[in-house]
Amino acid sequence: MDLVSPLSNGYAVTANYLSLIVVLVWFKPAMIVLKKWFYNAPILSYDLLIFGVWIGFVGEFLDGLYWQIAWTLHYYQSTIGANMVDNGMLINMFTRQSTGTLAAYCHIKSSLQYEGKEYVANDHATKAVIMGAAYAFVMMFTPTR
């Protein structure tokens, strides 16, 4: 019997629950930051940190929930589970990767803003986008087996 799948999915319940609690606890402060952004009010380093934490855990919760369902169904040999696993990269782009990127940017910008070097955050973001695009470009034009 495969013991890793039940143990991993049991642990996923713990991680997903705690991620959801973080999302709910930080919801109001994160919405205050969004309101500041919408009204062009000054966004301070701690605002960026708050929003980075919140959006990071939103992505963590959504991604974790998707994969918990996918791997549970896959464990029970469901064709839906197999399809979810096969198409998981698409979901990752909208859950883990996009929210993780935004969270990382917020954390980097928060730290740099605190040091008075906020402008460097955009340099890091630009480099990251160029590296990601180059990697995707190489993959698209490299033959697979």
State the pLDDT at residue 78.
Answer: 94
Instruction: Return the domain boundaries, the chain.
Output: 4-140
Task: Give burial (CB, 10 Å; 0-12/13-18/19+) of 56.
Answer: buried
pTM assigned to the model: 0.87
Task: Say what percent of the chain tops pLDDT 70.
Answer: 99
3-state per-residue secondary structure call for the chain: CCCHHHHHHHHHHHHHHHHHHHHHHCHHHHHHHHHHHHCCCCCCHHHHHHHHHHHHHHHHHHHHHHHHHHHHHHHCCCHHHHHHHHCHHHHHHHHHHHHHHHHHHHHHHHHHHHCCCCCHHHHHHHHHHHHHHHHHHHHHCCCCC
- Rounded to the nearest 10 degrees, the angle between the axes of helix 45-75 and helix 79-86 is 140
Tokens of 28: 């109001």
- Written as tens digits, the pLDDT of the chain (145 aa) is 588 889 999 999 999 999 999 999 999 999 999 999 999 999 999 999 999 999 999 999 999 999 999 999 999 999 999 999 999 999 999 999 999 999 999 999 999 988 888 878 889 999 999 999 999 999 999 988 8
Determine the distance from the C-alpha atom of residue 106 to the mean position of all C-alpha atoms in its chain, rounded to a whole number: 12
d(CA 107, CA 100): 10
